[in-house]
Amino acid sequence: MGIAKFWNGTDKIFISGKESGLYDLTSADATYRVTCHEVVNHFSFHPNATLVVTGSHDGSWSLHDVNARQILVKIQEQSPVTVIEFHPDGLVLAVGLASGAVNIYDIRTPEERAMQLVGPINN
């Protein structure tokens, strides 16, 4: 299943899948390609409009500076990443795993997991 989201009110769209990246709709050119994962399952835009975080079925997630066209960090998890989302303040990142765990990170120190919530969580 592919996911597509418009990039912060522009004519650019970020897509998941094997050809993941940021594409300019006016030219159909990729302005940034995600090459550190075989397939991107999920992604989230940072509130500052320059960063995107991607998660993969290979169990890794990565933080990208799209303007600088570089990977800032890549982290390997214990199971496939199924969902990934920034907190609205942009400092906290939640990484949902196929195992049911949710790992919480402070993106200022992404190499250190801040917290793990164990699931699946039932009401």
Give the model's confidence band at 68: pLDDT under 50 very low, under 70 low, under 90 confident, else very high: very high
Specify the CATH number for 4-117; select among 3.30.1130.10, 2.130.10.10, 1.10.1040.10, 3.40.190.10.
Answer: 2.130.10.10
Task: Name the nearest CA neighbour of 91 among 43, 42, 51.
Answer: 51
The first and second tokens of residue 24, run together, are: 């300019």
Domain boundaries, the chain: 4-117
The first and second tokens of residue 123, run together, are: 């009401």
Task: Name the nearest CA neighbour of 66 among 43, 84, 88.
Answer: 43
pLDDT tens digits, residue range 7-66?
Answer: 777 788 887 888 888 888 888 888 888 888 888 888 888 998 889 999 999 999 999 998
Task: Name the nearest CA neighbour of 93 among 72, 114, 79, 66.
Answer: 114
pTM of the model: 0.84
